[in-house]
């Protein structure tokens, strides 16, 4: 998925205004929320050139609900992998990687 497609998918899952791409530290975020950023660009090479690029994104779902439906919906997105879970400041954080 391209970034604009990810944004649209996340907004459909969590609602407009609750999906944030690389938000600045000064931005107020209300929860539940999805925060994501670019992780890496992986190149495949052949004949001294790049013939394919794949971008991956780090995605964090933050919710007060430990049984959040948002987590379940994000985990079902194409090429999505759950990495880990943490509980910070009374909020549940589920971390994913999504590959383009």
Which pLDDT score is estimated for 2?
A: 87
CATH number, residue 82:
3.30.2000.30
For the chain, the domain total comes to: 1
**Whether the Cβ atoms of residue 53 and residue 40 lie closer than 8 Å to each other:** no
Q: Which domain holds residue 81?
A: 3-99
How far is it, in rounded angstroms, from Cα 83 to Cα 5?
A: 21
How far is it, in rounded angstroms, from Cα 23 to Cα 28?
A: 9
Which pLDDT score is estimated for 62?
A: 98
Would you say the pTM of this structure is higher than 0.85?
yes
| Residue 1 pLDDT exceeds 80 | no
20-74 pLDDT tens trace: 999 988 999 999 999 999 999 888 999 999 988 889 999 999 999 999 999 999 9
Which of 96, 99, 86, 100 lies closest to 36 in space, CA to CA?
A: 96
84: CB partners within 8 A, 6+ apart: 94, 95
How far is it, in rounded angstroms, from Cα 32 to Cα 4?
A: 20
Which pLDDT score is estimated for 63?
A: 97
Residue % of the chain over a pLDDT of 70: 99
């Amino acid at each position: 998925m391209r970034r604009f497609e990810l944004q649209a998918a996340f907004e459909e899952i969590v609602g407009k205004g609750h999906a944030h791409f690389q938000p600045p530290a000064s931005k107020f975020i209300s929860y539940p929320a999805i925060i994501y950023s670019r992780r890496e660009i992986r190149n495949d090479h052949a004949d001294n050139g790049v013939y394919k690029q794949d971008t991956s994104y780090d995605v964090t779902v933050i919710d007060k609900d430990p049984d959040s439906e948002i987590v379940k919906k994000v985990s079902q997105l194409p090429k999505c992998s759950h990495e880990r879970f943490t509980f910070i400041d009374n909020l549940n954080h589920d971390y994913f990687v999504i590959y383009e």
